[in-house]
Amino acid sequence: MALRVLICDKYEVVRTGLRALLAAEPDIEVVDTTDSGLHAVMLARTHRLDVVVTGLELLSLSGLDLVRRLTEQRDVPAPRVVVYSTSDTEQAVADVLHAGANGVLVQNAGRIELAAAIRAVAGGEAMLAPAVARRLVDWFRSRDTRPEPALHSEAGSLTPREREVLLLLAGGLQPEEIAGKLFIGVTTVRTHIYRLRGKLGLRDRAQLVSFAYRAGFMRPS
């Protein structure tokens, strides 16, 4: 069954372009597009959506507020959200992640990257564009982050292999790169990441990176 996607952006040319990019993907169906944040909320309540792809500029409701509305709704299943932005600054990334976005792309993302992000977040994963991931990691590295004592017990519950995977993930490596470093399969790496999220009660990769620094596993350079 195809993934049902809603595209949101203030500008028609952007909406049309994104729809055209996804037209070649047989497992992705764009059910509608809109320039309005409030209309997007209504569509999410009346359609069974898997993923909402949105820019930050919308009419009637900002992209950030749309993400918050979608992730907070409880009466219907909340769709996963991919945000694309012209800015990959630390503050912009932090804002969309704190709002509840599951994926962040830069606005010049191509068809392959966009489709991969939709599939990843629909499957329960997080997806950060490489440029976004690098900025996030650099931001954590530059901070004077001291270990939080409250996280010691949670950190102590991790196996040595889980710690290895977490350290490499926090260092900016992708699952395929981690598999090569540790000489294990990519599926095994993804299993470790899934277990890390479960043990630590974290939602996605961004929160795992944050935990690694806050727990003192990583040292700012």
Instruction: Summarize pLDDT for 165-205 with one digit per residue, the tens.
Output: 998 888 778 888 899 999 999 999 999 998 998 888 887 77
Q: What is the per-residue pLDDT for 142?
A: 64
Q: What is the per-residue pLDDT for 34?
A: 96
Q: What is the per-residue pLDDT for 37?
A: 94
Domain that holds residue 55: 3-137
Q: What is the per-residue pLDDT for 132?
A: 75
86 occurs within a structural domain: yes
Nearest-angstrom CA–CA distance, 100 and 70: 9
Nearest-angstrom CA–CA distance, 9 and 56: 7
Mean pLDDT value across residues 22-43? 94
83 occurs within a structural domain: yes
Residue 136 in tokens: 């996030």
Among all chains, which residue has been given the structure tokens 């820019």? 55
Residue 151 in tokens: 């996280």
181-191 as b/e: b if 16+ CB within 10 A: eeebeeeebee
Q: What is the per-residue pLDDT for 118?
A: 94
Q: Which of 137, 158, 181 is the last residue of a domain?
A: 137
The confidence band for 148, taking pLDDT boundaries of 50, 70 and 90, is: low
Q: How many domains does the chain have?
A: 2
User: What are residue 84's DSSP bridge partners?
Assistant: 105
174 occurs within a structural domain: yes
pLDDT tens digits, 125-146: 878 777 777 776 666 666 555 5
The confidence band for 89, taking pLDDT boundaries of 50, 70 and 90, is: low
Q: What is the per-residue pLDDT for 221?
A: 47
Q: What is the per-residue pLDDT for 87?
A: 64
Given a contact cutoff of 8 angstroms between Cβ atoms, the answer to whether 113 and 104 are in contact is: no
Is residue 150 domain-shared with residue 201, that is, in the same domain? yes
Is residue 99 domain-shared with residue 13, that is, in the same domain? yes
Is residue 159 domain-shared with residue 127, that is, in the same domain? no
Q: The domain spanning residue 92 has which CATH number?
A: 3.40.50.2300
109 occurs within a structural domain: yes
Q: Which of 137, 161, 178 is the last residue of a domain?
A: 137
DSSP calls for the chain: -PEEEEEE-S-HHHHHHHHHHHTT-TTEEEEEEESBHHHHHHHHHHS--SEEEE-S--BSS-HHHHHHHHHH--SSPPPEEEEEES---HHHHHHHHHHT-SEEEETT--HHHHHHHHHHHHTT--EE-HHHHHHHHHHHHHS-PPP-GGGHHHHHTS-HHHHHHHHHHHTT--HHHHHHHHT--HHHHHHHHHHHHHHHT--SHHHHHHHHHHTTSS---
Q: The domain spanning residue 171 has which CATH number?
A: 1.10.10.10
Percentage of the chain beyond pLDDT 90 is 40
Question: Is the pTM for the entire model greater than 0.85?
Answer: no
